Amino acid sequence: MPDIDHSMITFAKRWSPYGGGDEYILPEFGITPMLFYQRLHTTLERKFVEGLDLTTRLSLREFCARKLARNTVRVE
């Protein structure tokens, strides 16, 4: 797993209990929160993520899905 993916997982594990720390994503990773959560979700969809237990992986994946759903533009 690339170091950036590991850093993103570590960040998400630390900040997800507090809503995600979105204001720190751009300065720390150089990408928008939406792109961060898209990339992290893709990483967490892999069958195996080294050093991450299944419960945490599923919890973080659900967290990313909720964050991404909030940013979806809905046409009514």
For the cut 70, the answer to whether the pLDDT of residue 16 exceeds it is: yes
CA–CA dist 41, 58 (Å, integer): 10
Query: Can you read off the two tokens belonging to residue 59?
Result: 């919890």
What pLDDT shows up at residue 51?
84
Q: For the chain, give the number of residues.
A: 76
Q: What percent of the chain has pLDDT over 70?
A: 91
User: In whole angstroms, what is the distance from residue 57 CA to residue 60 CA?
Assistant: 5
How many whole angstroms separate alpha carbon 19 and alpha carbon 73? 20
CB contact set of 62 (below 8 Å; sequence gap of 6+): none
